Structures are given as structure tokens and as C-alpha cells.
Amino acid sequence: MSDAAPTERLRPADASEPRAAGTPLPLRILVVCNDMVLRLKLADLLAAQCPGAVLDTCTARAVRELGTRLVGYAAAIPIVDFAAPREAGDPLAIVSELRACAKGLAITVIGRGGDERSALAAVRAGAFDYWSLHAVDAVALVAALRVQVLGPAVVAPTAPASLAAALAAAGYRLLKELASTPKATLYLAASSELGAPVALKVHRHAADAAASDEETARFLRECRLISQLNHPSIADVYDFGVTVDCHWLAMEYFPCGSLKARLQHPLSEAEAVAYTARIGTALAQIHAAGIVHRDLTPANIMLRADDSLALIDFGLARPALAPSSVTSPQVRVGSPAYMAPEQIDGVPPDGRCDLYALGVLMYEMFTGSLPFRSESLPELLEQQRAARPPRLPPALARYQPILDALLGKRPGDRPASAGAFLDMLAAVSAEPQARRSK
């Protein structure tokens, strides 16, 4: 590779026909990777989804040779190897180099051998998006790039046309599907009003009118509850609406994903304690507003680029001890693995049911597994009702009294409030430091 031409041109701009006056220049994308086969393969996949674009590839070293010529590119996609030996240096240094040469460059990191911490680090370094190499979707990636760079109307390929049209009328362009359940789908979307990506939670109306009315009532209640809250530990909600096809909620987008994804990789003691304290702080906030979440799970705890977190999915939440017109007191709601005994028994819960779920989360963050497990739902529910909390590893034994309190079978056995729990955690966490200072 010569100094004069440090990039490989996968496909040149089409010069066979003259470009009409006023026609925009083609989208120029640079793929950066030291593995030639890998970078050419990715560029080839993108080319098939990006008609008219100019795709170049180069090594990380060649980025330095390009220097200020990088301003000619609209987007850069570095493939970063997080599994490389430490002596190879900071794998995300390439992001800083790209930004230093072209500050307006839209950078998407493709991670090889990374995890959710890698995604967090990439966003902190200046990337606007992150994909794992094994999960790259060329269609969605190109769609996101085009919106980031050009802002065109883009439709997520998995969204029905009628749904996309209804949401477009509300000012949202679907980019890609982030997650899906039988009742709802979460999309990454562009907002014409905000000029920034948002997470769009979409509930399709059920075929049965009664079920649809019930789902809509729960959805509107969720929107009202979240609208009352204004705290960093609660996801920002921008807008919501109901159409013939769906009801939708536009909220803060979390490129670093959820705690559920983060738990696919072990946490250190310090990380587990920090996350536990942040969740406790979030619960103190919503409980002070008189709201019980009732479905506190790792999937409903989102991570920001600064490593702070926010609670989402208040679909089951309701004012503490208030009767619900949507769910009967005898109907179990919540996720069984995180459900307090009183929820299982259909007793109207207060904030201490969220503290029970926090105990399950605490054990899971410390050990990587759930405290109560069974392939049989009845057996799992019986464990929640009667089984003693499992023992933590010896190195974490000082947290056992807190765990035992959180997982108390009766609400009165648990800390009286999230604030009381935070005081207990702070006192135990300070013990090693106190011993060192003696």
C-alpha cells in the first residue's frame, strides 16, 4: 500500500454518467481493520445495501496517513479487536484518531471479542453506535448510517408498512429492531423533532377488542406514571400516542444496552456493589413518588454511556397500595424469578416487593446465577415463598445479612425502605476501608 493511496477502493464512484447539477455527492464510508479479508468482507456486505455509495477500506495505520483527508468521508466503521493482547495498546485508540482528524465523522464501532463494557467504552470514546461482529445486520447498519449522516426517511425492514407509516406520521422513522416480546417491540428510531435517536416501544393492538382495551389502559397508565417522574435514574420519556394500529412510547435510547446483557459477563465485586447502590437510589426515587415498579428485572434496567443506569418498563407499576382497574389483586404480575412472595399470593404490594427483586438482582450480580432456580414454575414459586436465601461465596460473606434481609419472605422482614437499604449497604461497603485505615 503506497503513501499516496493508503486506502483500498472497493467500489469507485460511478463516473459512467455525468452527475446533474445539485445532485448530492455519494455517501463515502471508510472501513478500518488490520485484517484485510475481514474489512473487505464487511465493505462488500455494506456495498450490497448502499447503492451509489463509495466504500474505501484501510488499516489502522493508514488512518494516520490519511490525516485531514478523512474529512471527505461521511462515516467510518472501525473493526476493533477487544481480545487483542494488552501490549497491542488501547483497541479504541482508532476512534480517537478518527475524531481528531474529522470531528464530524459518524463512527460506528464493530467489536470483535468484546462485551457490553466494550460497547460502553466505544460510546465514551466518541462512537455513535456499536455492533458486535457476530451480530452485524448490514441492512440496519446502513439504515442507521444514512439517518445519522443524511437524515432520510428510513423504514426498519422488520416493521409492517402500515405500522411504519403510522409512526412516520407521528414524526418517527424506524431504523432497526432492538428487542421483541409477544406483546411489544422496541425499535431504534429517528425523531424529526428531537434530531436524535430514540427508543420507540410499540405495542400492536390485540385482535380481541377487550384485550386491546386492557393493554391500552395499562400502557396509558405507564405513560402517566413515568411523566410524573424527573430523575436521572428514570428513563426520559419524550412522547407517546395511540393509533389505529398501535400505541407507542418514545423514550431515551440506551446504546449500551441493559443490565441483562451486561450480566452475560462477570461483574467484579465493586461493579456489583455500585450497580446495586444505583438501583437502590432509583427505587428510593420512585417510591418517594408513591410508585411501586413491580417488575424489577435486569432487562428493565438500562445502562448509559457514563455507566449510570435508568429504570424502564413501568407497565406493571402502580401507586403503592392503590387498587388497580387493570389487574385483579388475585392475578400474578411480574417475572417469576424476581417476584416477591406477596406478589405470588396476589397481595397488593408496596415498595418492599421491589426490594425483594433487588435482593435477587444483588445475588445474581455477585454470583452470575439466580438465587432460586427450577425448570418447574410451581417449584420456583414455592422456593420464592419458603426457601432460605443461598449463601454467598466466602469472599462476599459480609453482604450476607443484607441479602437475607432483602430476600425476607414477609415484607416486614425486609428493610423498611430503599433508603434504609442504602444505609445498610454503605456501612458494609465501608468495612474493608475502615480495616485498612487502622
Tell me how far apart the alpha carbons of residues 52 and 29 are, in angstroms, rounded to a whole number. Answer: 11
The answer to whether 311 and 293 have CB atoms below 8 angstroms apart is yes
The secondary element (H helix, E strand) that includes residue 380 is: helix 377-386
Q: What is the CATH number of domain 8-15+24-148?
A: 3.40.50.2300
Catalytic residue among 295, 313, 354, 423, which?
295
For the domain made up of 259-433, the CATH class stated in words is mainly alpha
Chain position carrying cell 480495616: 435
Element (H, E) at 108: strand 106-112
- DSSP assignment of 111-150 equals EES--HHHHHHHHHHT-SEEEEGGG--HHHHHHHHHHHHT
Task: Give 407's DSSP letter.
Answer: T
What are 431's three cell numbers? Answer: 468495612
pLDDT at 26: 63
Q: Please provide the size of the chain in residues.
A: 438
Give residue 394's pLDDT: 96
Whether 35 is catalytic: no
Q: Are 168 and 160 in contact (CB under 8 A)?
A: no
314 within 8 A of 293, measured Cβ to Cβ = yes
Bridge-partner residues for 80, per DSSP?
Answer: 111
Place of cell 425486609: 414
Name which of 132, 135, 179 is nearest 158 in CA terms.
Answer: 179
Q: Residue 125's CB: how many other CB atoms inside 10 A?
A: 20
User: Domain ranges in the chain?
Assistant: 8-15+24-148, 153-251, 259-433
pLDDT reported for residue 362: 98
Residues of the chain with pLDDT under 50: 1-5, 11-25, 151-157, 320-333, 434, 436-437
Name the DSSP class of 290: T
In this prediction, residue 334 carries a pLDDT of 58
For 166, the grid coordinates are: 403510522
Residue 436, judged by CB atoms within 10 A of its CB (0-12, 13-18, 19+), counts as exposed
Give residue 207's pLDDT. Answer: 52
Contact 30, 57 (CB under 8 A): yes
- For 420, the grid coordinates are 434504609
Neighbours of 192 (CB within 10 A): 12
Where does 153-251 sit in CATH, by number?
A: 3.30.200.20
Residue 22 region, left (φ>0) first, then alpha (ψ -120 to 50), else beta? left
Q: Which amino acid is at 68?
A: T
Please name the amino acid found at residue 34. N
Name the β-bridge partners of 81. Answer: 112
For residue 29, the cross-strand partners are 55, 75
Q: What is the pTM of this model?
A: 0.63
Taking CB atoms within 8 Å and a gap of at least 24, the contacts of 37-40 are: 38/79, 39/79, 40/8, 40/10
Phi–psi pair at 86, nearest 5 degrees: -60, -35
Cα–Cα distance between 24 and 256 in angstroms, integer?
33
What is the spatial distance between Cα 307 and Cα 303, in angstroms, rounded to a whole number? 6
**Domains 8-15+24-148 and 259-433 agree in fold:** no
Q: What angle do CA 241, 245, 249 make, to 5 degrees?
A: 30
Kindly give, in sequence order, each residue whose CB lies less than 8 Å from that of residue 343, ignoring residues fewer than 6 positions away: 294, 332, 333, 334, 349, 353
Residues in contact with 251: Cβ distance below 8 Å, sequence separation at least 6, in sequence order:
198, 199, 200, 201, 226, 235, 236, 237, 238, 312
